[in-house]
Amino acid sequence: MKITDMAKDGLEITLLYLSCFYGIYIVIPLRYGTFCYRLVITREYLLWV
């Protein structure tokens, strides 16, 4: 794996994290589906506590 590929993956994951955390729903690869879903659930739970 190239360094540029690693950096790209890191950026995509960061963007997905921010998008999910702030409730911005975007089309994402299936492999990140559970990751996004859990962040959204955690955010909703924290808001209701």
pLDDT in tens, the chain (49 residues): 466 666 666 677 676 666 655 554 444 454 555 545 555 555 555 555 4
pLDDT of residue 27: 45
Q: How is residue 21 written in tokens?
A: 């955390």
Find out whether 23 and 47 touch, Cβ atoms under 8 Å.
Answer: no
Written as six digits, the tokens of 19 are: 């998008």
Q: Give the domain extent around 28.
A: 3-48
Looking at the structure of the chain, the number of domains it has is 1
- pLDDT value for 45: 55
Long-range contacts of 3-6 (CB under 8 A, 24+ apart): none
Q: Is the pTM of this model over 0.85?
A: no
